[in-house]
Amino acid sequence: MQKKIGFIGLGIMGKPMAKNLIKAGYSLVVYDIVEDPVKELVELGAEAGESPKDVASKSDIVITMLPNSPHVKEVVLGENGVIEGAKEGLILVDMSSIAPIAAQEIAAAVKEKGIRMLDAPVSGGEPKAIDGTLSIMVGGDEETFKEVEDILKVMGSSAVLIGDVGSGNMTKLANQIIVALNIAAMSEAMVLATKAGVDPEKVYQAIRGGLAGSTVLDAKMPLVLERNFKPGFRIELHIKDLMNALDTGHGVDVPLPLTTQVLEMMYALKVDGKQGDDHGGLIQFFEKLANVEVKRQN
């Protein structure tokens, strides 16, 4: 018999991920503190849950997709949380991007109630959430992973088990450092080219097939040229991830000098009211320094 899935957190990422599960034929119980996405999912065939506790009581597997560690702890361990409604043997798959130590703490708490947990953060932003082509980084027990692997592969093009609980989010932190530094490098280079009088679109086309080419460059540069900073992944969320990276790095005695610099750049944009922009909008920090705008020239 097909397992029933609970899905908690229907934001920019969670809503399209849940939609893909419904399209694949899975039965969903959904919950969010915002009513509109719940109604949208119900129209597609999902059942509305009254609380995380209610969702858990009706599910074999609960997926959470929430902003940060405190939100996951509250939804899972708080009043009317998942832990209160879960049957023994329930699998909790937290797909949020949170601190690795928080994932380990939550896993330890739910284990006492007979709940198995995976931390399974994702990379790819809203476009890949919509397409079902996310990269999913998983920490946890191999047997539990195999039970949900087919479900994860509805939402992602890859789902890789890395190690114990917490290793999924450690991998996500590494991912977020690399993405942030790539965006910063792209931004600095394109501001230089533009201020020097060279067409940034032609620079992009010339370098994208060489060693400087990257998935980040191909995802973000076309949007910059259109001045489109509508979020696939908001700057404020990348700030959260980089702060988690710094906390984790300091906890294991790893200095992160480049991460610190990019975090401060993103924080400057937050102060400027741009925290809701896509993280590709980091280029605006460099543009302000050089008093130039990178955009399509014809």
Q: Which residue numbers are catalytic?
A: 172
Dihedral over alpha carbons 197, 200, 203, 204 (to 10 degrees): 170
Q: What is the CA radius of gyration of the chain?
A: 20
- Cβ count within 10 A of residue 120: 32
Class of residue 105 by CB neighbours under 10 A (exposed 0-12, middle 13-18, buried 19+)? middle
What does the alpha-carbon distance between residue 270 and residue 276 come to, in Å, rounded to a whole number? Answer: 8
What does the alpha-carbon distance between residue 231 and residue 11 come to, in Å, rounded to a whole number? Answer: 12
CB 284 within 8 Å of CB 186: no
Please tell me whether residue 230 adopts helix, strand or coil conformation: coil
